[in-house]
Chain A
Amino acid sequence: MSRLLARFDVQFPTFHLNVEMDVPMSGITAIFGPSGSGKTTLLRCLAGLERAPTGLLQVGDGIWQDETIGLFRPLYNRPIGYVFQEPRLFPHYNVRANLLYGYKRIPMEERRIVMEQVVEILGIGHLLERRIHKLSGGEQQRVAIGRALLTSPKLLLLDEPLASLDIQRKQELLPFMCRLHEELRIPVLYVSHAVGEILQLADRVVLLQEGHIVGVGTVNEVFTSLTFRGQFGAHRIGAILEAPVAAHEAEYGLTRLEFKGQFLFVPLQAVAVGQVMRVHILSSDVSVVIGRTGCPTSVLNVLEATIIEIREMDQASVDVRLDIGAPIVASITRKSLIALGLKPGQRVFAHIKAVALNEELRA
């Protein structure tokens, strides 16, 4: 699979970015970290808006920057779509002219994405003849995304495109972002400091802290890591899992998902069997049980698990990271930990009391 390889070491007046990054060129990769951790700077280095003096950037087969031989392709020679925090639309053009600005500047044979498609996905057909200042913030940002897409980019860079919007506009735009990814299949690097957005959108996370990458992995791996949990407002996440629908049990009002040979029950969903769903589990909804038969329970979701790691969070509570085919975290009391004598490597069962579903469905 095609990959993105980047190495940047830049000293700014108040800040030092030093990263080495290697991610697949597929799906949505979130660049996540607190404010001031260097997310935007990293994105600007990737785009070529900042030139790291010793930078190296390889995207698929193409080398975009290699300072050992003085190679640096300026942004306008990189097949990138960039969406800034603010829409940055051109005020002297209407919506249509803004959308076509980049489209007209790429060679005919590279135009894979066309106007009709973008207009349909982003729902901006009724805005085409409007002046920019007549649009709401959400509409402007949709046009900005459309404008970037119409350059048929090989890589889409999004710098907190939802940050300048209020909650309602954000909720409006999120489904568009999902469709965009599903229908156009462009690899996306998505900068955000909002855990919620990442849980809904991202496939993998690059975790940034004070200019350094401190973790890379699937959303589930990173947010169930006991090292990073508790930071970044992700402390209640137990797991984010993707599982296909195995069957519907309509008489009980339940849908059964299959996850690595085990089952998860969720409220009945109106989706086809085989459809992959993304589910969220809170760590406080997961408990640890030793022996299934010895402990009859009303809890439906009981999964075989192996303890990977245990970490005391404070005097009362303990996080236990379990493997159920993917990591999941249970927050239990220290008293239970001692009473059950839990140890890493031990075979146990995870009882999951509640499973929340993402509204969003993934193909």
Chain B
Amino acid sequence: MGALTDLDLSALWVTIRLATMTVVVLLIMGTPLAWWLAHTRSRFRPIVEALVALPIVLPPTVLGFYILIALGPYGPLGRFADLSLAFTFTGLVIASVFYSMPFVIQPLQSAFEAVGKAPLEAAWSLRASKWDAFLTVISPIALRGYISAIVLGFAHTMGEFGVVLMVGGSIPGQTRVLSTTIFEHVEVGEYAHAHVISAFMLTFSFLVLLAVFIANRRFPIHVS
């Protein structure tokens, strides 16, 4: 077993930063969207739901291809930013947000559906404004949904490969993440290194999921 190289460690750091930023962005953008999906009667709802779920079934290369075009110097996002976002960390975050979207939106949406409007109305009747009611009543009751969303969003972003390769390439310290590092190691026959990182990711993913399931058992939220 070889120890991790500096390159491996920098890939780990990039991976953690990427997953964290992706989840933060998705929580901020995803909360209103999930709330809307949970409570709207709009006929556009199934369309939006399908769009959100698309990354689950789409080949990552397809998603990656379109994002690459959009981020490139002649794409709408690239033009807006006045530079090419392809093969940058920012570009990778944008790509990951799309890629991991369903894993954050869907748990939030089901949590909001389960909470319903009843506690919100009760909070309003107790003088809590919309924001106050959301922060002090809805989000704590929907806590489990938030934990699932954070964990799944984080883990899923850590595990992405195809999109990363398409949009980010594998630039050490910038866009090389753990999953692409494994690929690089295997390419040059460094199986020991690949083993270490693979085992780490396997253990990490398992522990994260285990923690979620235990937390759900241990601290059930009683909704009466």
Contacts and interface: CB of A to CB of B under 8 A. Distances in A.
B140 A92 contact: yes
B118 A86 contact: yes
Contact of A133 (B123, B127, B141, B224): B224
A147 B119 CA distance: 13
Contacts of B118: 84, 86, 88
B126 A91 contact: no
B141 A76 contact: no
Contact of A88 (B119, B130, B132, B136): B119
A76 B119 contact: no
Contacts of B141: 90-92
Interface string A211-225: 000000000000000
A132 B224 contact: yes
Interface stretch (A100-108, A235-243, A305-313, A339-347): A100-108
Contact of A91 (B121, B124, B125, B223): B223
A105 B127 contact: yes
B221 interface: yes
Contacts of B218: none
Contact of B127 (A76, A84, A87, A89): A76
B137 A74 contact: no
A181 interface: no
Q: How extensive is the interface on chain B, given as a class?
A: 20 to 34
Nearest to A90: B137
Given A76-B128, A105-B128, A106-B127, A90 B221 contact: no
Contacts of A91: 141, 221-224
Contacts of A86: 118
Contact of B129 (A47, A76, A90): A76
A92 B118 CA distance: 15
A71 interface: no
Nearest to A74: B124
A101 B128 contact: yes
Interface in B129-169: 129-130, 132-133, 136-137, 140-141, 143
A148 B123 contact: no
Contacts of B126: 101-102, 105, 147-148, 151
A131 interface: yes
Contact of B125 (A82, A92, A131, A132): A82
Interface string A68-95: 0000001110001110101111111000
14 contacts: A75-B121, A75-B125, A76-B124, A76-B125, A76-B129, A81-B125, A90-B137, A91-B223, A92-B143, A101-B126, A101-B128, A101-B136, A133-B224, A151-B125
Given A87-B224, A91-B222, 15 more contacts: A49-B124, A75-B124, A76-B123, A76-B127, A76-B129, A76-B130, A82-B122, A86-B118, A88-B119, A90-B140, A91-B224, A92-B141, A101-B128, A106-B127, A140-B224
Interface of B: 118-119, 121-130, 132-133, 136-137, 140-141, 143, 221-224
